[in-house]
Amino acid sequence: MKTKLLVISLMFATLVNYAQQNAQFTQYMYNTINVNPAYAGSRGAMSIFALHRTQWVGLDGAPTTNAISINTPFNSSRLGLGVSIINDKIGPTHDNTISTDLSYTIPTSETVKLSFGVKASVNLFDLDPSRLNPDQPDPKLNGYNNAISPNIGAGIYLHSDKAYVGFSIPNFIESNRYDDNNTKVYKEKMNYYLIAGYVMDLSYNLKFKPALLTKMVQGAPLQVDVSGNFLFNDKFTLGLAYRWSASASAMAGFQVSDALFIGYGYDLETTKLDNYNSGSHEVFLRYEIFKNNNKITTPRFF
């Protein structure tokens, strides 16, 4: 019984740190559209992305996340369009977020482009009080089934074929999920993202890309993700990542064809939760449809 209470306490403490934030991803460098709307259309192709993440395997009520998105440049204009859906399940709660992104790109030189983006989203929040097993259930909790809240966000994204840096706030509107006598049990707050990455040519068939994601939200610790990926023969990707004071990760990816790329990531907790779960798994695939059936001449990590 004591062990069970300890596990629940550790999980609750960790979720408090992250509950006020958006869903987190280890392979954020392939999933930029979910945090920065200015990314829409930046790859010069219709890019279809799907991801599944199972966190803290073996721990009851641990987060499970599914994400799917599609983004594309709009004809021959400077506009980019994107649509994404994120399903996030944590214990008794379900979050479904549907977003639409619009970007506008300005060339700043022959190789560098600056993109501006806006995001419009709607969140469907569902709380199942029966999974809480309370001794004295609060009837007010029943009012948080299928609660709908709209939101807007924006971002900027400076990029070339070799490097990128971006800043975004996906959600400007803060919303309270449960507010009783000024006690906010769950509140969605503004998330601030700073991302950056640079591709280095180590040899004719080997590239290396360090990347950074920094996420800040009031009331939660600063999240810093650093990663390094190697690309071999423009086909196979292998890398490591570290989330400050949270986890270490290993990542692998394979370019199956010009259009299809698949990837896998494994997280190992560096907190006390490591004693009560067998890690986190993340798998994704990206399929791209190129204009006039021409592939991108320079392989991209992002």
**Given this model, what pLDDT does residue 190 score?**
87
In terms of Cβ atoms closer than 10 Å to its own Cβ (0-12, 13-18, 19+), residue 261 is buried
**Given this model, what pLDDT does residue 31 score?**
86
Which of 282, 276, 300, 298 minimizes the C-alpha distance to 58? Answer: 276
Query: How far apart are alpha carbons 178 and 228 in whole angstroms?
Result: 40
Query: How far apart are alpha carbons 61 and 63 in whole angstroms?
Result: 7
Query: How far apart are alpha carbons 283 and 266 in whole angstroms?
Result: 9
pTM for the model: 0.84
Does domain 1-10+25-291 match CATH 3.20.20.70?
A: no
Which of 63, 70, 65 minimizes the C-alpha distance to 51? Answer: 65
Extents of the domains making up the chain: 1-10+25-291
Q: Going residue by residue through the chain (302 aa), what tens digit of pLDDT does each one get? A: 444 444 444 444 444 444 445 778 999 888 899 999 999 999 989 999 999 999 999 888 889 999 999 999 988 889 999 999 999 998 888 889 999 999 999 999 999 999 999 999 999 888 776 666 655 555 555 555 677 889 999 999 999 989 999 999 999 988 765 555 554 555 677 899 999 999 999 998 999 999 999 999 877 788 999 999 999 999 999 999 999 988 999 999 999 998 999 999 999 998 888 888 889 999 999 999 976 555 554 556 77
Query: How far apart are alpha carbons 296 and 82 in whole angstroms?
Result: 19
